Amino acid sequence: MLLNSKHSALLMIDLQTRLLPAISDNDKLLANNLWLAGLAHDLAIPTIISEHCADKIGTTTEEIIATAPQAKIVHKQTFSVFAADVLTPEVFNDANQIVISGIEAHICVLQTAIDLRNNGYEVLIANDCVGSRRSKDMELAIARLQAHGCEIISREMIAFEWLGTATHPQFKEIHKKYIR
C-alpha cells in the first residue's frame, strides 16, 4: 500500500523527557521525530501524541510539542495506546492509515501497532523514528511488526507518498525544507 495524505494520521508514542535519554542513539531519534512532526504539521496531517504515565516519566519533550502544535495529546497507563481507549476515529480524523513513531519499539509501539492492525487499520512504522533502549529489542520488534502485517518505511518514503506528485502545491517547499 502507498500512503495517501487524505487517509493518514501520525501517532507519536511516548517521546517523553525521562524516557528519551535512555533510548539508544536518542539524539538522532529525536531529530528524526522532529523532522517527521514538522512534515506532518506542514502537510496538515492529523497528529496524535501519547504520553505514558506522564507523572512518572515526564511529558513529551518540548521540541516535539513546539514542532507539532496541532497535535492532540492523549494519556495512557496501558502499554498499547489503542488499549487505553483514547484512539477514536475522531482523534484520527477518520484516517485509516496510521504512521507510527516513538518509543519503545518493542513495548508500546509494538503493542499499539498490533492492536491497530487487529482493528482494521493500515499501520506503517517509521523505522528511522522508532527506538528502544537495546538494539536487539529494536530488531526483534521490527521483525515482529512485519510478521503482523505492519509496513516498515522511512521518513523520506512518508514525505514523497504524502506529497504523491511533483505537482503537489507544496512540493517545492517540502522538498527544500525536508529533502535537500
The predicted pLDDT at position 129 comes to: 98
Residue 147: burial class (beta carbons within 10 Å; 0-12, 13-18, 19+): exposed
Instruction: Return phi, psi of residue 55, to 5°.
Output: -65, -25
As given in the structure block, the three cell numbers for residue 109 are: 509501539
pLDDT digits (tens, 9 = 90+) for 29-78: 999 999 999 999 999 999 999 999 999 999 999 999 999 999 999 999 99
pLDDT value at position 168?
Answer: 96
pLDDT at 89: 87
Pairing, β 151-153 against β 8-13: unpaired
CATH for the 5-179 domain, from 3.30.1540.20, 3.40.50.850, 2.60.40.10, 3.40.50.300: 3.40.50.850
pLDDT < 70 stretches in the chain: none
